[in-house]
A and B are shown apart, each in its own frame.
Chain A
Amino acid sequence: MLKNITIGQYFPGNTVIHKLDPRIKIIITLLFIISLFIIDNFLPYLFVSIFIFTSIFISKVPFKFILKGLKPLFFIILITFIINVFMTKGEILFEIGPLDVTKEGLKLATFMALRLIFLIIGTSLLTLTTSPISLTDGIERLLNPFKRIGVPAHELAMMMTIALRFIPTLLEETDKIMKAQMARGADFESGNVLKRAKSLVPLLVPLFISAFRRADELALAMEARCYRGGENRTRMKQLILSRRDYIALGISILLLGLIIVDRLL
């Protein structure tokens, strides 16, 4: 039952978007988010949609996957929309009971909803087209310059790598413990929420103990392989920026520029 959980939501592919340097992809996503927050009217959303939908088209990620990313946040979008509709003062269009629906409110609500939707689509596209490993790699290298002010870039990346490495192992283990406890009559499926939470104790205790033991052994194994932190460490895979990275970055800066110009005009 736990077998079919995948880590992240990476959609493997071999397109230009997939091949972009992870650092560049992270920066582009950040620029994209900044653009979204600069926008103050509807016209620039046209540029944003052209940009994002072209990217999705090039990446060959089925649109279905993008929508899947939106689904869990549907209620947040809806609540934001409703609150904005009713809470904004202005020219009244019609009334529902004690609540007024204003023209400004409707406009602002649509505006905010669009912002959220684009935000989610943009970040999903990043995680859909970048494997967790290269994402980690990208984050480590982007944070590298901040090491001097005490950002533990290497340690963070190492923690993420180890977490990714051990998620499947621990899932497998959970499955095993669950079956073992069920064989001894443990019941994980019936009862109310409180009872079910309680029934998880015999699952979590052995899982934690085993996780600590694994951590201990892993630390020993890492030391035996000469690990001593990020100092003087080299990497087999070098990230090298190619022309397509510069082009992609250029396009996103252009988008940001357009939106800033629009805002100032």
Chain B
Amino acid sequence: MSDVMIKLENVTYKYESNENEGVVALNGINLSINKGEFVVILGHNGSGKSTLAKLINALIVPTSGKVYVNGMDTQDEENIWHIRRTAGMVFQNPDNQLVATIVEEDVAFGPENLGIHPKEIRKRVNEALTAVEMEEYKDYAPHLLSGGQKQRIAIAGVLAMKPECIILDEPTAMLDPSGRKEVINTIKKLNREENKTIVHITHYMDEAVEADRVIVMEKGNIILEGTPKTVFSQVEKVKQIGLDVPQVTELAYMLRKEGIDIPQNILTIEELVSAL
């Protein structure tokens, strides 16, 4: 096995529509994500980032090009279930992805579908709930939980299938700041402690700061790629496509403009403080 978890080769995806040619959501993307990497994909609505997530999960197949997950081609029908348990997916709306009426039953839903032995399911459910720090809520009904908690349950539901990679499609978009923090901390922990490959799609710049790699998408193309420091040091370019840089970076950028001599690649408050 190679170290590459996800590989996209010249992938194009077109949404069919009746009126015209169809909308091109992805335009010849080449991308490779390594095992254990924490990648953040940034972009506007309609930049193609959600399409990318669905392609990796084999929910859709590319119009042209190839998508490989752990060496498996997503176009091959036989691989579909294997791909989906290798690359688990968490969606945007926490309400619309929980199936069962009790938290632990919902976490068990994935492994139940895989036909795993009941005792093993029980073990996995407990482990997954511990990993997202929700074990004391296992008997709750999902609608009694907060958004952040629901989203952590959704993550636990994916974890119970023991995936090597987790794709999160704007998991924090519908959450309040404290819920966002909960989810982000959980994601980081999974990457660090369980060595899961993380593909995190978001439009919050602050969430990208601690990633290994940031990919910025615009109109179906990858336009910037690199470590958070290299991407966010190009403040003008990022702003040009209508995205923001993290607040601290923005402040540093403005200070530089005013003639204060500080480095260009500041991402956190601590860095700025020590630079000043």
Which residues of A line the B interface, CB within 8 A? 132-133, 161-162, 164-165, 168-169, 172, 214, 217-218, 220-228, 232-238
**Docked complex Cα distance between A232 and B114 (Å):** 8
Is the pair B99, A161 in contact by a Cβ cutoff of 8 Å? yes
Partner among B59, B85, B108 whose Cβ is within 8 Å of the Cβ of A236: B108
- Decide yes or no: A223 and B110 within 8 Å by CB, A165-B100, A165-B101, A234-B115 being known contacts: no
Is the pair A225, B96 in contact by a Cβ cutoff of 8 Å? no
Is the pair B113, A225 in contact by a Cβ cutoff of 8 Å? yes
Q: For residue A217, which residues in chain B have a CB less than 8 angstroms away from its CB?
A: 91, 93, 96-97
Can you give 30 A-B contacts (C-beta < 8 A)? A133-B100, A133-B102, A162-B99, A165-B98, A168-B141, A169-B143, A172-B143, A214-B96, A217-B96, A218-B99, A221-B89, A221-B91, A224-B84, A224-B91, A225-B109, A225-B158, A226-B113, A228-B113, A233-B112, A233-B113, A234-B111, A234-B115, A234-B116, A234-B121, A236-B108, A236-B111, A236-B121, A236-B122, A237-B105, A237-B118
B49-71: CB near A (< 8 Å → 1, else 0) gives: 00000000101000000000000
Judged by a CB distance under 8 angstroms, whether B257 is at the interface is no
**Docked complex Cα distance between A264 and B81 (Å):** 60
Judged by a CB distance under 8 angstroms, whether B225 is at the interface is no
Q: For residue B110, which residues in chain A have a CB less than 8 angstroms away from its CB?
A: 225-226
Q: A221-B99, A226-B161 are in contact. List 6 more A-B contacts (CB 8 A).
A: A133-B100, A165-B100, A217-B96, A224-B59, A225-B157, A226-B113
List 8 tightest A-B contacts by C-beta distance, closest first: A221-B97, A236-B108, A217-B96, A168-B143, A236-B121, A226-B113, A225-B110, A224-B89
Q: Which of B93-137 contact A (CB under 8 A)?
A: 93, 95-102, 104-105, 108-118, 121-122, 125
- Decide yes or no: A169 and B95 within 8 Å by CB, A225-B84, A225-B109, A234-B117 being known contacts: yes
Instruction: Give how many B residues have a beta carbon under 8 Å from the other chain's beta carbons.
Output: 39
**Docked complex Cα distance between A38 and B101 (Å):** 38
With a 10 A CB-CB cut-off, give which of B88, B112, B117 has the most chain A CB atoms: B112
Judged by a CB distance under 8 angstroms, whether B142 is at the interface is yes
- Decide yes or no: A221 and B96 within 8 Å by CB, A227-B113, A228-B113, A234-B115 being known contacts: yes
**Docked complex Cα distance between A199 and B85 (Å):** 47
Partner among B59, B121, B161 whose Cβ is within 8 Å of the Cβ of A223: B59
**Docked complex Cα distance between A233 and B113 (Å):** 5
Q: For residue A222, which residues in chain B have a CB less than 8 angstroms away from its CB?
A: 99, 109
**Docked complex Cα distance between A221 and B98 (Å):** 8
- Decide yes or no: A232 and B115 within 8 Å by CB, A172-B143, A220-B91 being known contacts: yes
**Docked complex Cα distance between A233 and B121 (Å):** 12
Is the pair B97, A235 in contact by a Cβ cutoff of 8 Å? no
**Docked complex Cα distance between A217 and B109 (Å):** 16
**Docked complex Cα distance between A72 and B217 (Å):** 60
**Docked complex Cα distance between A195 and B109 (Å):** 45
Question: Which chain B residue lies CB-closest to A223?
Answer: B59
Q: For residue B116, which residues in chain A have a CB less than 8 angstroms away from its CB?
A: 234
Q: Looking at the assembled complex, report how far the CB atom of A120 sits from the nearest CB atom of chain B, in whole angstroms.
A: 26
**Docked complex Cα distance between A165 and B102 (Å):** 8
Q: For residue B96, which residues in chain A have a CB less than 8 angstroms away from its CB?
A: 214, 217-218, 221
Q: For residue B99, which residues in chain A have a CB less than 8 angstroms away from its CB?
A: 161-162, 165, 218, 221-222, 225
